[in-house]
Chains A and B, each alone.
Chain A
């Protein structure tokens, strides 16, 4: 309420202004929710309705057949759906996405929080300053720049070169692993996150050093101090970083796409989504002859309704995460605001 003071709020002109602002904001909320509603509604339309009455807001005959189709690998006539997305049922992609998102949180948050704690409270001032630049420097370097070297690094880890070196003076190759086509190829590059490091460090900086000193006096180890004193205090920060890390990993497309491209059984939903929309939208009526596989798909009831059903399934878990962390997120904002 900073711009319009409480006192003047009864005047007609001021009230009119407030109503105008409120309607503008509610319009924004509605415009934001509309595509979500449209997605849900379209996912429950039968295929004929998608084509014949594309602009009906509510489905005339709501059906879950699109969801059922996604959950199987065959069409209602009992034939295999001849498009790669349907080689696995929906649950496989859902489970893969959950695996990737949860593992990213479990690996990244402890590593990042521990590093931030050490830099904020344990290292000498000079070391801390160097480490801070070391950890934050990559934030200024655009991430996409290193797609190719990162791919090469992951294909014969830990050697970025094409050739794995020999042990000196012998013919034996040094050990190397290919992470291409494995979950580790997606998880390891996300093991540390500079942005979360900044949030954690910013928070640990606000905690008084006496707190740690007191714990040390009582004989607590550093790990115990971090776990039982620092982290409970940092709960809002953990909630905010945890939520954003989870949704970030869930939404990530380019990483899994490059690393897991050949391993269809390991695709997350984001990749399955891309593939399904690619199949459906690369054909347009104006282009004439339709790919027979796509034709078969559409006659099996796979259309934009199935695409939207997949979009709903992809969005539900992060919606649940949002509802769980809602309160903590709102609190987290206020805390971020307080320390400014």
Chain B
């Protein structure tokens, strides 16, 4: 490697320091980042219970996963949650952030501070569980006050999943990352469009959104990965019920491993989930690439 040698110290010293700085992170990432992922492939091919000797069983666990009707239910629920969640709440922060930029600097500041007042996450989920309480909850209180008929929210198998998403719609707000990106769009572009007599919607469509595109693509990716792995929200809100109406794949993995102690099957299911998420990510990248110029060419 033709490296420019530092003036005062030898190249050996610099390399040594570089590796010393890297070492703790390297070890942590190797042991807790990569090792469990690699080891999950080993576990998935074993009959593995906490108490018994693990033994190699080939693809048995994957067969178990394939014929388990609850796996199908869990995947259906998870895909339903992911599409509801992305369909109903993904665009909101983009839209709100764009509108927020129209306010004066001072208003933006005040609104942002109020908007990002934090509530601890399990606390937030519990607040909503209280809101949804059939008799004591505010949601039914409001419906009653309006003279509408009350709903059973989390206890209604058809409404439970939507009830998990609803807080995300009611608590609409801007996204930090979109605001950061919007501050970057050169103002001259809008001025130029103004000269041409472009309407507000056209400006959003032809200037703002294309500029945000890489970030939207990235956030969409994270939303897919995140919502396919949803655990805490249904685990605390509904415990997977009523029946299995809100049991997600990760919840089922959790209950297979720590409720049924079937570690091999749990891990096999985790790998199947990984495969499904990767497939979705590939589809997303094919149809929504970060760079416009890379839009799939038609043959």
Contact = CB atoms under 8 A, between A and B. Distances in A.
Does more than half of chain B's interface fall in helix, strand or loop, or is it mixed? Answer: helix
Interface string B68-89: 0000000000000000000000
Contacts of B135: 54, 285
A17 to B, nearest CB: 8
B180 A336 contact: yes
Interface in B236-271: 236, 239, 250, 253-254, 257-258, 263, 266-267, 270-271
A149 B136 contact: no
B138 interface: yes
A25 B25 contact: no
Interface residues of B, number: 113
B8 interface: yes
Contacts of A330: 109, 112-113
B170 A143 contact: no
A130 to B, nearest CB: 11
B25 A112 contact: yes
B291 interface: no
Contacts of B172: 28, 31
B58 interface: no
A217 interface: yes
A37 to B, nearest CB: 11
Contacts of B190: 2-3, 5
Contact of A147 (B96, B138, B253): B253
Contacts of A1: 101-102, 104
A38 B127 contact: yes
A326 B29 contact: no
Contact of B8 (A3, A111, A112, A216): A216
Contact of B258 (A123, A152, A258, A286): A258
Given A29-B114, A311-B123, 12 more contacts: A2-B185, A2-B187, A115-B25, A122-B17, A141-B274, A144-B229, A216-B6, A217-B7, A253-B232, A284-B134, A336-B177, A340-B181
5 pairs of A and B residues whose beta carbons are closest in the complex:
A115-B25, A122-B18, A311-B123, A146-B36, A118-B21
